[in-house]
A and B are shown apart, each in its own frame.
Chain A
Amino acid sequence: MKPPPFEYYAPTTVEEAVAHLAEHGYDAKPLAGGQSLIPMMNFRLAQPAVLVDLNNIAELSFIRPGDEGGLSIGAMTRHQTVEKDALVAERAPLIDETMPQIATRQIRSRGTIGGSLAHADPSAELVSVSVVLDGKFRVVSQKGERWVPASEFFLGLFTSVLEPEELLAEISLPPLPDRSGWSLMEIARRPHDFCLIGVVALVTLDEEQNCKQARIAFLSAGDGPMQAQNAAKVLEGQPFTPEVIQEAAEVAVASDIDPSSDIHATADFRRHLANVLAQRALTQAFERAVGN
């Protein structure tokens, strides 16, 4: 479990970093917190010829207020920094609630928010949460920068729109709409494991306490964050009764997700859990929305 040889660069600016990426293209891999990449290299599952270590780039680590009550987080901000940040707690309560659920404290002390998103693991909490929160990502390269909505960023299993010469630099989250409630629920064998299934829900109520909008995404339920658009349609305009919630969950399981089988859970069991969890999460999100 030792990696094959690789070249190593440790730039201190984004400019330098993207220059290395431009030079080495597909041979290069940016190193963020290393919590997925380093084990994959030790297993020789990933064999990058060049590592561009981002850990010395101070300008990528920040948490600051965004426009109109939103929030902006630098890609190299460590999970534990986000977890303990007061501004995050105030402006992004769903992110605040998500952080302690990510892996273990040891991993959160090293792992970064940008590293987790760029890795595009469908079981990763932040992947689905960023989609539900309608976040957008600033992507930079030597040619300039572009903003990509989270809902368009993830292309599939461990695959995103990032080109080899591009770097994820910043995550921007809009403020939560009024009368919103949220929930993140996961089922894992052990709390820190990749979840068997997970669901993130954000619901916004209208003035009659009916569902104005619902944004739902499932973790570990397909090749990426699985947005439950059909289930959301079931909810829109409806009151939050157990019957409506049950119908939404059933629609989600039948038409929004595509889980697979592995040694920990069959697709059948995952669908069962998705149904159970969707009902619980929607109920919790609704109850919170009523209070907000």
Chain B
Amino acid sequence: MTKEFIGKRIKRNEDPRLLTGQALFVDDVDIPGMLHAAFVRSDYAHAKIVSIDTSTARQMPGVVAVYTAEDMGDEWQPGPPLVSPPPTVEDVVFHSRRQAPLVKDKVRHAGETVAVVVAESRYLAEDAAEEIWVEYDPLPAVVDIEKGLEPNSPLVHDDLESNLAAHLSQEKGDYEAAKAQADVVISKKIHIDRGAAAAMENRGIVAHWDEKGQLLTIWDTTQAPIPIRNGTAARLGLSENQVRVIAPFVGGGFGPKIMMFYPEEMLIPWISMKLCRPIKWIEDRRENFYATTQERGQVHEVEMALTKDGKILGLKDDFLHDTGAFDPYGLTIPLNTQSHVMGPYEIANFSSEFKVVFTNKTIVTPVRGAGRPQGVYIIERLMDAAARELDIDPIEIRKKNLIAPDAFPYSHSIIDQAFAELILDSGDYLPTFEKAIEMIGYRQFIEQEQPRLRAEGKYVGIGITPFIETTGVGPYEGARVQIEPSGKVNLATGIGTQGQGHFTSFAQIVAEQLGVDVTDVRIITGDTAEFHWGTGTFASRGAVVAGNAVYAAASGVRKKVLKMASKVLDAPEEELEIQDGMVRVADIPRMSISLGELAAQANPLRGAVEPGTEPGLEATDYFGPQYGATAFGTHAMIIEVDPETMLVEIKRYVTAEDCGRMLNPLIVEGQVHGGVSMGIGNAYYEQLHFDENGQLLNASLADYLIPSSMEMPPRIEVGHAETKSPLSELGTKGVGEAGTIPVPACFAQALENALQDFDLEIAETPLSPNRLYELLYKKEQ
């Protein structure tokens, strides 16, 4: 019997390298002759460029080159669109406007790239950048999305009639008819504000054009190295084989590092070719706040129609979505919001219309959650309001509306981010819901603890929030597995890695198939010279799409091993087992051969082979799911709030997760812990404050508040269930975003519960002590 590794709590292979500083990050790349780039970025959110004077900067010591849009001549072109608008829905409006490498006519958000200096050091480059004089003619800025659609609003893109970037409506059943039959209709206007992804490692690029070898090597903190390779080759007129993109270890992706192409990603390789020198640009934290994509800004007007016993008859959600100055990522985020607003609930009648609005703010693309947290926030705020209005227990009203386990695969009958029908592949929602309730001790809290603490003058509250997460979207990923004569196994896959534990979870899949130790599998991710088919690491798809490709490739090698060993050992395949790096005839240990020896024999150096023979014990395979796999779970928290200081402390945090078959529960829990910390940021700490001129007021980690270990609950208890996805051999679903998605909704619920004496109604996120003070004591505002 082959040893099982999948599902085991195995410590991560990559951690010794990461924890001892031995892992390669982009900024570790140091090439002789390397030059450094610094950017001149717009001080204004919206302004015409009158003139740019680079004459002083060009003369400064150590400066090698300065480029503006004009200097790029015919080679100036905007970035490509990442995804196209949905073809399957009628009457879709979509105006594609994409970022340029350097601004030509007018700047559309503060921090947009206006010029770039290349110098012998970053210090000299920044000194010179300060001496580039840009004359601006400032224009009024579009900051607020509601005002942005008013007829007299300034225009972000002058060639459009308005700031409307996109418009899409979806209908299911007949909401108005449902509303007419309803006993009660709850309506709310809900504001969700913007935050940053704030990865620990900012972006960075090193590009090295080797003139003699005619090869361009790019180290990039990207989540999507293969599309970057292909796009760079196309932009620069090179063959795809002439471009190698390496995404080494990356200190957190969270979505913004998928964005292709950032201005810097277009420019740095181009400059390397112009100058025939290696060029390095490492984004600093201030640049990150202005230039790396952000997410979450939406305003919803939502209505829910219910019977008096709490059954949802229909939901109507019309919303505005802030896309920032450009919309390279199409409609993924608002479609995700629509896909999650019905969430785990059966809602027969649904109507939703969204308008995407251009603003003079940093570009919006997915950030961990990618529209899903907004959808969950909306439906869960409405569930709580309905429970209060109907005087039903918030647990009971949710139970009453959960999709039944026999209804899967369940179609929500709208389109999803892949422009295909939104089908929930599998699920069983009640068990995780009840598990979370049990883990946190809901009944005991409500009936005993809360009244006791309230009598002591303490304000404690509880939130219980179920959610779904669509994961593992296509199109496909691939993997190549090879056994070496040493007996060690190589695995290459195209996706990049930003902390997900791929070096362990993928190794577990391979090790189980090939009977080797997890530590004997050497993994390469995100290097296009090693594997050049696929898309990238995003949308909680690594374990699902790449994971199943790894499984398929490893299974292919296993077949080759068994077939060859059957010949060598002269025994039928059914009688063979692979264990501890050996293939042997079951029950006859002396009839065996090591995988390494078999690999050596599979690559003969002399003699003849049979026709059709492929050398080596190697296989390449791919996996593309029919549609995405949908994970789910429930989060619960207990908080204490001081109604005098408005400080909130999370006393307990519980999650019950079902992400299908788990490859490694330790890694699943790590993903959930990290996700919850980001969600706590979204709920109570992380908000980007823009003034009326579109200026970001908190572009530093001193003022943009990321929760630290001190703000985290003492423990995050993670419970598991495993409802395998029927869409793949492994049955995996993604979990990368699950931790983040329901947190703001759960936090708002717990706060309302804690402050029920104050009759507090929350219809916004993120919150803050200052905002809570206004909500509690300044109700008229």
Interface residues of chain A, those whose CB is within 8 Å of chain B, are 1-5, 39, 43-44, 187, 189-194, 196, 263-266, 269, 272-273, 276-277
**A1 near B697 (CB under 8 angstroms)?**
no
**A190 near B705 (CB under 8 angstroms)?**
yes
Separation in Å of the A41 CB from the closest CB of chain B? 12
* A4 surroundings in chain B (CB, below 8 A): 126-127, 130
Q: Which of B122, B685, B710, B769 contacts A269 (CB 8 A)?
A: B769
Separation in Å of the B777 CB from the closest CB of chain A? 7
* B774 surroundings in chain A (CB, below 8 A): 269
Determine whether B703 belongs to the interface, using a CB cutoff of 8 Å to chain A: yes
Considering the chains assembled together, what is the distance between the CA atoms of A273 and B773 in angstroms?
10
* A269 surroundings in chain B (CB, below 8 A): 769-770, 773-774
What are 27 A-B pairs with beta-carbon distances under 8 A?
A1-B285, A2-B126, A3-B123, A4-B127, A5-B123, A39-B702, A43-B286, A43-B700, A187-B647, A187-B769, A189-B705, A189-B769, A190-B708, A192-B708, A192-B710, A193-B705, A194-B702, A263-B689, A263-B697, A264-B703, A264-B770, A265-B770, A269-B769, A269-B770, A272-B773, A272-B777, A276-B644
Considering the chains assembled together, what is the distance between the CA atoms of A193 and B701 in angstroms?
10
**A196 near B769 (CB under 8 angstroms)?**
yes
Would you call the interface of chain B mostly helix, strand, loop, or mixed? Answer: loop
* B130 surroundings in chain A (CB, below 8 A): 4, 44
A189-B285 CB under 8 A given contacts A5-B127, A263-B689, A263-B703: no
Interface string of B637-679 (1 = CB under 8 A from A): 0000000110100000000000000000000000000000000
Interface string of B285-298 (1 = CB under 8 A from A): 11000000000000
* B773 surroundings in chain A (CB, below 8 A): 269, 272
Considering the chains assembled together, what is the distance between the CA atoms of A196 and B770 in angstroms?
10
**B768 near A190 (CB under 8 angstroms)?**
no
Determine whether B711 belongs to the interface, using a CB cutoff of 8 Å to chain A: yes
* A1 surroundings in chain B (CB, below 8 A): 284-286
Considering the chains assembled together, what is the distance between the CA atoms of A266 and B778 in angstroms?
13
Determine whether B138 belongs to the interface, using a CB cutoff of 8 Å to chain A: no
Separation in Å of the B119 CB from the closest CB of chain A? 11
Determine whether B519 belongs to the interface, using a CB cutoff of 8 Å to chain A: no
| Chain B: CB-nearest residue to A42 | B284
**B698 near A263 (CB under 8 angstroms)?**
yes
Determine whether B707 belongs to the interface, using a CB cutoff of 8 Å to chain A: yes
Give chain B interface residues in 254-313, CB to chain A under 8 Å: 284-286
**A190 near B284 (CB under 8 angstroms)?**
no
Interface residues of chain B, those whose CB is within 8 Å of chain A, are 122-123, 126-127, 130, 284-286, 644-645, 647, 685, 689, 697-698, 700, 702-703, 705, 707-708, 710-711, 768-770, 773-774, 777
Q: A3-B123, A189-B705, A277-B645 are in contact. List 18 more A-B contacts (CB 8 A).
A: A1-B284, A2-B126, A4-B126, A5-B123, A5-B127, A187-B647, A187-B769, A190-B685, A190-B710, A191-B710, A192-B708, A192-B710, A263-B703, A266-B770, A269-B769, A269-B773, A272-B777, A276-B644
* A5 surroundings in chain B (CB, below 8 A): 123, 127
| Chain A: CB-nearest residue to B684 | A189
Separation in Å of the A186 CB from the closest CB of chain B? 10
* A190 surroundings in chain B (CB, below 8 A): 685, 705, 707-708, 710-711
Considering the chains assembled together, what is the distance between the CA atoms of A266 and B774 in angstroms?
10
Considering the chains assembled together, what is the distance between the CA atoms of A277 and B769 in angstroms?
15
| Chain A: CB-nearest residue to B773 | A269
Considering the chains assembled together, what is the distance between the CA atoms of A189 and B687 in angstroms?
13
| Chain A: CB-nearest residue to B707 | A190
**B122 near A187 (CB under 8 angstroms)?**
no
Considering the chains assembled together, what is the distance between the CA atoms of A2 and B644 in angstroms?
42
* A265 surroundings in chain B (CB, below 8 A): 769-770
Separation in Å of the A49 CB from the closest CB of chain B? 14
Considering the chains assembled together, what is the distance between the CA atoms of A86 and B539 in angstroms?
55
Considering the chains assembled together, what is the distance between the CA atoms of A192 and B701 in angstroms?
12
| Chain B: CB-nearest residue to A263 | B689
| Chain B: CB-nearest residue to A279 | B644
Separation in Å of the B639 CB from the closest CB of chain A? 16
* B768 surroundings in chain A (CB, below 8 A): 189, 264
| Chain B: CB-nearest residue to A44 | B130
Most buried by B among A1, A193, A277: A1
Considering the chains assembled together, what is the distance between the CA atoms of A190 and B286 in angstroms?
21
* B126 surroundings in chain A (CB, below 8 A): 2, 4
Separation in Å of the B644 CB from the closest CB of chain A? 5
Most buried by B among A44, A189, A192: A189
Considering the chains assembled together, what is the distance between the CA atoms of A1 and B769 in angstroms?
31
**A276 near B645 (CB under 8 angstroms)?**
yes
Considering the chains assembled together, what is the distance between the CA atoms of A272 and B769 in angstroms?
12
Most buried by B among A187, A194, A263: A263
| Chain A: CB-nearest residue to B126 | A2
* B285 surroundings in chain A (CB, below 8 A): 1
Separation in Å of the A148 CB from the closest CB of chain B? 29
* A43 surroundings in chain B (CB, below 8 A): 286, 700
| Chain B: CB-nearest residue to A197 | B645
Considering the chains assembled together, what is the distance between the CA atoms of A263 and B688 in angstroms?
10
* B710 surroundings in chain A (CB, below 8 A): 190-192
Most buried by B among A192, A264, A266: A264
Separation in Å of the B161 CB from the closest CB of chain A? 34
* A193 surroundings in chain B (CB, below 8 A): 702, 705
Separation in Å of the B239 CB from the closest CB of chain A? 37
| Chain B: CB-nearest residue to A47 | B130
Q: Which of A2, A187, A277 contacts B123 (CB 8 A)?
A: A2
Separation in Å of the B204 CB from the closest CB of chain A? 14
Separation in Å of the A141 CB from the closest CB of chain B? 32
Which 3 A-B pairs rank lowest in CB-CB distance, beginning with the nearest? A1-B284, A263-B689, A276-B644
Considering the chains assembled together, what is the distance between the CA atoms of A264 and B704 in angstroms?
10
Considering the chains assembled together, what is the distance between the CA atoms of A269 and B697 in angstroms?
19
* A264 surroundings in chain B (CB, below 8 A): 703, 768, 770
| Chain B: CB-nearest residue to A187 | B645
Considering the chains assembled together, what is the distance between the CA atoms of A3 and B122 in angstroms?
10
Most buried by B among A191, A264, A269: A269
Separation in Å of the A240 CB from the closest CB of chain B? 20
Separation in Å of the A248 CB from the closest CB of chain B? 17
* B284 surroundings in chain A (CB, below 8 A): 1
| Chain A: CB-nearest residue to B644 | A276
Separation in Å of the A214 CB from the closest CB of chain B? 22
Most buried by A among B645, B698, B770, B774: B770
Separation in Å of the A246 CB from the closest CB of chain B? 13
* B708 surroundings in chain A (CB, below 8 A): 190, 192
Separation in Å of the A42 CB from the closest CB of chain B? 8
Most buried by A among B127, B645, B710: B645
Considering the chains assembled together, what is the distance between the CA atoms of A53 and B127 in angstroms?
23
Considering the chains assembled together, what is the distance between the CA atoms of A134 and B576 in angstroms?
85
Separation in Å of the A252 CB from the closest CB of chain B? 16
| Chain A: CB-nearest residue to B286 | A1
* A276 surroundings in chain B (CB, below 8 A): 644-645
* A189 surroundings in chain B (CB, below 8 A): 685, 705, 768-769
* B123 surroundings in chain A (CB, below 8 A): 2-3, 5
Separation in Å of the B37 CB from the closest CB of chain A? 13
Separation in Å of the A87 CB from the closest CB of chain B? 29
Q: Which of B122, B645, B697 contacts A2 (CB 8 A)?
A: B122
Considering the chains assembled together, what is the distance between the CA atoms of A283 and B698 in angstroms?
36
* A266 surroundings in chain B (CB, below 8 A): 770
Considering the chains assembled together, what is the distance between the CA atoms of A39 and B126 in angstroms?
16
| Chain B: CB-nearest residue to A265 | B770
* B697 surroundings in chain A (CB, below 8 A): 263
Separation in Å of the A28 CB from the closest CB of chain B? 20
| Chain A: CB-nearest residue to B698 | A263
| Chain A: CB-nearest residue to B125 | A2
Separation in Å of the A168 CB from the closest CB of chain B? 24
* A273 surroundings in chain B (CB, below 8 A): 645
| Chain B: CB-nearest residue to A266 | B770
Separation in Å of the B699 CB from the closest CB of chain A? 10
Considering the chains assembled together, what is the distance between the CA atoms of A44 and B127 in angstroms?
10
Most buried by B among A2, A193, A194: A2
* B645 surroundings in chain A (CB, below 8 A): 187, 273, 276-277
